[in-house]
Amino acid sequence: MKYQVAIIGGGPAGYTAAETAGKAGLSVVLFEKRNLGGVCLNEGCIPTKTLLYSAKTYDNACHASKYAVSVSEVSFDLSKIIARKQKVVRKLVLGVKGKLTAGNVTIVTGEASVIDKNHVLCGDETYECDNLLLCTGSETFIPPIPGVDTVPYWTHRDALDNKELPKSLAIIGGGVIGMEFASFFNSLGVEVTVIEMLDEILGGMDKELSAMLRAEYAKRGIKFMLDTKVVALSEVASGNGDTQQIQVNYENAEGAGCVIAERLLMSVGRRPVTKGFGLENLNLDKTARGNIQVDGQMQTSVPGVYACGDLTGFSLLAHTAVREAEVAVHAVLGKKDCMSYRAIPGVVYTNPEIAGVGDTEEALQRKGIPYRAVKLPMAYSGRFVAENEGINGMCKLLLAEDDTVLGAHVLGNPASEIITLAGMAVELKLTASEWKKMVFPHPTVGEIFKEAL
């Protein structure tokens, strides 16, 4: 059968493209070899946030006395936390399927392989298409550390389904995924050590606020080892000899050493999936970094072939993938649209949260762009003070010489919910005076932006 649009991959980019195209009246076939929703919905964004919310609720109960509330015998049940996570995922996967069905999208479960720009093979059947969208996502990157093949370790997928708390956990990588799991396990009483090769956690986020978040978690007992390279992994017997533990050998400015933990989580990043679906048959142009080259409409060097989401290697974030998918389908429909990366929010769902949009100070300095930074403690927001007893936070705005908003960065709950306000200011290139004319509801944490301007 022939379709106007064929999509490989059912993650945020794939299912958004399918739903958008289907609603527009195009005939669409979507190929997904696992579950609809991709990594984000099944083993990434949604399940991790579900776990983190349980941990946050437990934290709040443990510290309820700060709000004049007495809670006795606070406890948690990890198996029930995991079960709730699975329930949430199932519900949302069914929701995605329902939307696609309503849009008359044909869903094919199986491994699809590209024959050429107009033909896709899945199982024993060949599907013809006018337009091909590649939305294959990304996969966990496991670094070639000596000994990695000889020790048991968790990826994020394993950590999400674990029903027994380890006494200690070593996390290799202090990025977004590493810090979110560090936050979760620390809240539940696990001894956590984060080993990061860079000089600060959360590379790409505002460095000053990242350091503040690290300091907060250090007070809660997490041990951070920065500027530290892992050089070897091995198994060693525990003190009583009954069980095996993981030994992480490292090197840093202070010399060589090791961390011994009951469990090891690998969290050094992800890389685009480029193999296993016939990509080589399209002979697409690549960027200097080896990613798929696309234009402003997400079209590759081959007319009628589009790449969206993690496959482009630009921004391995679900919300970026969603917008890229919309742009690609609009191109197929002949609608004028263009992808903009000026204001892609980044969020880390620790407690407190940290979020940023637009340029960081470090990025502006690398680009040689003059700017001024405006900083304001989150305590200037009445709502924040009312809901965050004893917790510090910071709002930082970066303004150009003409006061155009170049970036905004927030440490403090709910940074994830208010960062969109700043994102719109960055995307629309508002000046500080223009943004300040907007009426912010009171009392809200988002008012911190108006206070800072």
Instruction: Give the pLDDT score at 22.
Output: 98
324 shares a domain with 180? no
Please indicate, yes or no, if residue 416 is contained in any of the structural domains: yes
Scan for tokens 């960081």, then name that residue: 360
Is the Cβ–Cβ distance between 205 and 409 less than 8 Å?
A: yes
Instruction: Give the pLDDT score at 367.
Output: 97
At residue 229, φ and ψ (nearest 5 deg) are: -105, 130
Within 10 Å of residue 361's Cβ, how many Cβ atoms? 17
Q: Residue 117, SS3?
A: coil
d(CA 284, CA 305): 9
Scan for tokens 């303004």, then name that residue: 399
CATH number, residue 198: 3.50.50.60
Q: Which residues belong to the annotated binding site? A: 49, 136-138, 173-180, 196, 269, 310
| pLDDT at residue 418 is higher than 80 | yes
195 shares a domain with 123? no
193 shares a domain with 244? yes
- For the chain, give the percent of residues with pLDDT over 90: 96
Last residue of some domain: 213, 244, 267?
267
Strand partners, 203: 205
Q: What are the tens digits of pLDDT across the range 111-143?
A: 999 999 999 999 999 999 999 999 999 999 999
d(CA 53, CA 87): 14
Q: What are the tens digits of pLDDT across the range 201-260?
A: 999 999 999 999 999 999 999 999 999 999 999 999 877 767 899 999 999 999 999 999
Instruction: Give the pLDDT score at 176.
Output: 97
Nearest CA to 203 out of 153, 268, 261 is that of 268
205 shares a domain with 112? no
Last residue of some domain: 250, 267, 284?
267
Instruction: Give the pLDDT score at 426.
Output: 98
Q: Compute the CA torsion angle 248, 252, 254, 259 (nearest 10 deg).
A: -10
Marked catalytic residue, from 119, 156, 330, 442: 442
Higher confidence at residue 360 or residue 243? Answer: 360
116 shares a domain with 203? no
Please indicate, yes or no, if residue 147 is contained in any of the structural domains: no
Active site residue 63: no
276 shares a domain with 251? no
Is the Cβ–Cβ distance between 332 and 392 less than 8 Å?
A: no
254 shares a domain with 190? yes
| Number of domains forming the structure of the chain | 3
d(CA 219, CA 91): 37
| pLDDT at residue 200 is higher than 90 | yes
- Token pair of 101, please? 């069905």
Please indicate, yes or no, if residue 294 is contained in any of the structural domains: yes
- 206: containing domain: 154-267
21 shares a domain with 101? yes
72 shares a domain with 169? no
Q: What are the tens digits of pLDDT across the range 152-169?
A: 999 999 999 999 999 999
Instruction: Give the pLDDT score at 238.
Output: 78
Last residue of some domain: 309, 331, 353?
331
Please indicate, yes or no, if residue 148 is contained in any of the structural domains: no
Average pLDDT for the chain: 96
Please indicate, yes or no, if residue 337 is contained in any of the structural domains: no
377 shares a domain with 278? no
Q: Which residues belong to the annotated binding site for NAD(+)? A: 173-180, 196, 269
Q: What is the mean pLDDT of residues 306-317?
A: 94
E strands, 190-269, in order:
191-195, 223-225, 229-237, 244-252, 255-261, 263-266
308 shares a domain with 248? no
Please indicate, yes or no, if residue 36 is contained in any of the structural domains: yes
Q: What are the tens digits of pLDDT across the range 319-343?
A: 999 999 999 999 999 999 999 999 9
Instruction: Give the pLDDT score at 242.
Output: 73
Q: Which residues belong to the annotated binding site for FAD? A: 49, 136-138, 310
Q: What is the mean pLDDT of residues 423-427?
A: 98
Under the banding of pLDDT at 50, 70 and 90, the label for residue 10 is very high
Instruction: Give the pLDDT score at 243.
Output: 82
Please indicate, yes or no, if residue 338 is contained in any of the structural domains: no
189 shares a domain with 263? yes
Q: Residue 271, SS3?
A: strand
Please indicate, yes or no, if residue 143 is contained in any of the structural domains: no
Instruction: Give the pLDDT score at 240.
Output: 72
- For the chain, give the percent of residues with pLDDT over 70: 100
